[in-house]
């Protein structure tokens, strides 16, 4: 695949149609860069051959794979807390397995970043959940590091200061940020422009 041009406009898509159809739609839109959304129902092992073949005949560069999980609900702040990412202990084991599948899928396709909503990171780093999520992020960073992959966090559910403290606690150079100002506005977690300045050394992509 070709390299992405800095500040190139792209599209997030979810793999709910065939690779051929999706890549053709991107071509119609004159887009050559995209983030690959992996829905929970996608069988990554079966999809590898289809996507490898389609991408080899395409000029589209996939900059990252976005991992979503069964049962995530964004309908309210309370439902996000209860169902998104890894904040609920009873959901972690299955989602860790799924995330590792997606990391391997991205590696097979030559995609250098895997992102997800890890869940609300506590503002107070002394909270047990803060350390639990840091351990998980460190684990996923270490899974991707041998093949040069980044593990990428969405912004917005916590303040930029809390996210920066989290990145520093994890202590892995391949922990990065997908900057999403809409999330910051929706969750009331701070001024997006100030957050952009604070987090800029760690940002690899931006949602608009």
Summarised one tens digit per residue, pLDDT across range 149-180 is: 999 998 878 999 999 999 999 999 999 999 99
Summarised one tens digit per residue, pLDDT across range 175-199 is: 999 999 999 998 899 999 999 999 9
**pLDDT (0 to 100) of residue 157:** 85
* Average pLDDT of the residues of the chain: 95
**pLDDT (0 to 100) of residue 14:** 97
Q: Is 22 helix (H, G, I), strand (E, B) or coil?
A: helix
pLDDT for residue 69 is more than 90: yes
Tell which phi-psi region holds residue 7, choosing left (phi > 0), alpha (psi between -120 and 50) or beta: left
pTM of the prediction? 0.94
pLDDT band at 202 (very low <50, low <70, confident <90, very high): very high
**pLDDT (0 to 100) of residue 7:** 87
Q: What is the DSSP string of 86-102?
A: T-SHHHHHHHHHHHHHH
pLDDT band at 1 (very low <50, low <70, confident <90, very high): low
Summarised one tens digit per residue, pLDDT across range 14-66 is: 999 999 999 999 999 999 999 999 999 999 999 999 999 999 999 999 999 99
């Amino acid at each position: 695949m070709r390299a992405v041009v800095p500040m190139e406009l792209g599209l997030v898509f979810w793999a709910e149609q065939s690779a051929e159809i999706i890549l053709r739609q991107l071509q119609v839109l004159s887009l050559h860069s995209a983030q690959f959304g992996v829905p929970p129902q996608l069988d990554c092992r079966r999809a590898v051959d289809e996507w490898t073949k389609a991408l080899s005949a395409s000029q589209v560069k996939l900059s990252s794979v976005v991992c979503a999980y069964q049962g995530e609900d964004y309908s309210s702040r309370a439902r996000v807390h209860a169902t998104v990412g890894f904040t609920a202990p009873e959901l972690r084991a299955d989602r860790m397995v799924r995330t590792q599948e997606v990391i391997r899928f991205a590696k097979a396709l030559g995609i250098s970043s895997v992102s997800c909503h890890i869940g609300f990171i506590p503002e107070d780093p002394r909270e047990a959940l803060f350390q639990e999520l840091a351990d998980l992020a460190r684990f996923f960073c270490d899974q991707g590091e041998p093949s040069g992959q980044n593990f990428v966090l969405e912004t917005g559910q916590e303040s930029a200061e809390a996210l920066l403290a989290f990145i520093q606690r994890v202590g892995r150079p391949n922990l990065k940020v997908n900057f999403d100002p809409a999330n910051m506005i929706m969750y009331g977690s701070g001024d997006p422009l100030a957050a952009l300045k604070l987090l800029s050394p760690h940002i690899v992509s931006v949602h608009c």
